[in-house]
Amino acid sequence: MKNRSFVFCAIFAALCLFTPKISGAQQGKIVWSDQEKPIAQKIGVLRSLPDDFRARVTKELALQIRQLPAGANKLTLANSLANLSTEGDFGRDTLQEVTTTLADSLREYPVPEEKGQPAAPYIELAQLVRYEHMQAVSDSPEFSAAMAKLESGDESRDRANFTLTDLEGKNWTFSELRGKVVLVNFWATWCPPCRKEMPDLEALYDQFKGEGLVILAISDEDAAKVRPFIAERQVTYPILLDPGRKVNDLFQVEEIPKTFVYNREGKLVAQSIDMRTRRQFLGMLAEAGLK
């Protein structure tokens, strides 16, 4: 059995994976208050919880964070929770509570731009509003800038074209797939949410490939790492390699997994900001006419 200090270090490290750089004053080790520390610990182990229990804990954490004093730590916790709360389907009520908590935290503790771009928490909030259809009230110019950034990115993705080679040596050119429903999925072998959604993608590919569904799963890793991983999991949809990250950059992919669905006319009709369940993927495909 692991001792408490080791477990807490692991939890803290897991939380830091999702902690944005909010200000220069926060760089370095975060010091949690006695009220904040148990919340940070619970966020750090959310991924280990069964989905139904995770949904309830996530909602409870959102409400607990909302009661914290305003400040950088509160915003860090709110943004970290939001980042994890889109890894699947934990209920719209839960996600709305998370969204409200993040919006409230930003209103109480606004943060400046990062290198001329909206700070990460504003981008997270904008994604929840634009892609998850959550409700948030904000008159912040930084939030407006984040929404504009997302809109610009979507316009670019709507015009995207690329050619990549799959593990079997076949070239795939996106513009040549008109007439098909195309699901573009960005993933990596080291990404736990990516691995979790792969069986659902495989099931959907088997269900709809006869109706014109094409799945293009894009990894920026080397074939030597990807090939045995895919063989072990018996994935049959095309796995495309993007080791130079040209297509990742074209789609402005900064976090994975990330999925885009295009209809038969090549128009972007749905996208995710994180891992999806089979039910959620079905909803995205329905936007392209597959039901």
Q: Are strands 213-219 and 239-241 parallel, antiparallel or unpaired?
A: parallel
Q: Identify the pLDDT of residue 25.
A: 36
pLDDT bin (cut points 50, 70, 90) of residue 21 is: very low
Q: Where are the domains of the chain?
A: 4-155, 163-287
**Average pLDDT taken over every residue of the chain:** 90
Q: Identify the pLDDT of residue 8.
A: 33
DSSP per-residue letters across 210-236? GGTEEEEEEE-S-HHHHHHHHHHHT--
Tokens of 286: 């329905």
Report d(CA 138, CA 119) in Å as an integer. 15
- Homologous superfamily of 163-287 in CATH? Glutaredoxin (3.40.30.10)
Report d(CA 188, CA 67) in Å as an integer. 37
Backbone angles phi, psi at 69, to 5 degrees: -60, 145
CA dihedral 134, 138, 143, 149 (to 10 degrees): 50
Q: Identify the pLDDT of residue 29.
A: 80
Q: What is the pLDDT of residues 123-154, one digit of tens each?
A: 999 999 999 999 998 999 999 999 999 999 99
Average pLDDT of span 89-108? 97
Q: Identify the pLDDT of residue 291.
A: 86
* 8 A C-beta contact, residue 276 and residue 197: yes
Q: What is the pLDDT of residues 182-222, one digit of tens each?
A: 999 999 999 999 999 999 999 999 999 999 999 999 999 99
